Structure 1
Amino acid sequence: MITRPEIMEGIRRHIQRIGGQENLKILEIEPGHARLSIEVAEEALNLYGNAHGGFLFSLCDIAAGMCTYAYEVTNVTQCAGINFVRGVNGGTIYVESNIVHKGKHTAVCRVDITGEEGELLVTGNFTMFLGKEI
């Protein structure tokens, strides 16, 4: 059990409201491809001043769902893996998802987030379970 109050307080600070996705912009969309952009808002920062991993992960998840939905099929995330390569604390970031395999029941998407200078910030793979045609 944690007994030091300052450690417990530091642990409690990890509970945060994450916001900032409401200004997500669609730049390109077609079956198997989505490119989005967003300005990193203060509401998206973690307690260390960088974009929260949950914020970045959900942007990747949204992009994977969009590029899959563009095939006119409902979908949900079945499995996802993500690597946070570099921190970011402001500016515009770009989220790009491309389907690298589409089968009968699943689609596998590669998703990258890059910064204003094209530097890789996040990379991930999302397996989307395909539902019914729309």
Structure 2
Amino acid sequence: MSEIQPHDSEADIRRLAERDELARLLGVELVEGGPGRCVLRMAILRQHLNFYGGGHGGTLFAFADMAFGLASNSRGHIAFGIDAHIAYFVGVREGDVLYARASELNRSRRLGTYRIEIERQDGIRVASFTGTVHITEKPVV
């Protein structure tokens, strides 16, 4: 008789993060992860800026979306985004270090809702992202 192994959310998150080419390109690092949650870190570099010299909104959205993807795929089943919204509160500049903190608000058999708060190194909230995923029966590999 084989033993049922407990699901290792942190291992799934680390494995998925290592395969994320866009995260590597943007310099995003995984700080920690667990069931339905994760924390990412990213330093704002020149290539993350818009034409006015501030942090590009697309960079911030992508950063939040990465945390969303990792947190929503942390429970062993493939989940994919079906809706996402972001609100920007303050700008960021080159040299700022940002943290994306993802948390699970609700998860049912087929849907999950997540909130990602992006904060600067000084604790100031930069943006808030909310997303919903469709959860499949396929295992995360």
Q: Shorter-normalised TM-score: what interval?
A: 0.7 to 0.9
Instruction: Note the aligned Cα RMSD (angstroms).
Output: 1.5
- Cα distance in 2 between the residues matched to 1:63 and 1:24: 10
In the alignment, structure 1 residue 116 sits paired with structure 2 residue 128: no
TM-score in terms of structure 1 length: 0.81
Partner of 1:92: 97
Alignment of 1:27-42 (within 5 A): 27-42=31-46
CA deviation after TM superposition for structure 1 residue 116, in Å: 0.9
Partner of 1:16: none
Deviations 1:33-78 (A, max 9, x none): 1101011111110001111111100111110110111111112110
CA deviation after TM superposition for structure 1 residue 21, in Å: 4.3
Q: 1:118 to 1:21 in 2, by over 3 A?
A: farther
Deviations 1:67-123 (A, max 9, x none): 111111112110011100000012211011101100111110011100011000000
Q: Which runs of 4+ in 1 moved over 2 A?
A: 19-22
Gap regions ≥5 residues in structure 2:
1-22
Pick the aligned partner of 2:64 from 60, 63, 82.
60
Partner of 2:139: 133
Letter in 2 for 1:127: T
- Cα distance in 1 between the residues matched to 2:24 and 2:50: 12
In the alignment, structure 1 residue 75 sits paired with structure 2 residue 110: no
Q: 1:21 to 1:94 in 2, by over 3 A?
A: farther
Letter in 2 for 1:57: F
- Cα distance in 2 between the residues matched to 1:51 and 1:45: 4
TM-score in terms of structure 2 length: 0.78
Gap regions ≥5 residues in structure 1:
1-18
Larger radius of gyration: 1
Percent identity reads 22
**What is the aligned residue count?**
116
Which secondary structure does the structure 1 equivalent of 2:33 belong to?
strand
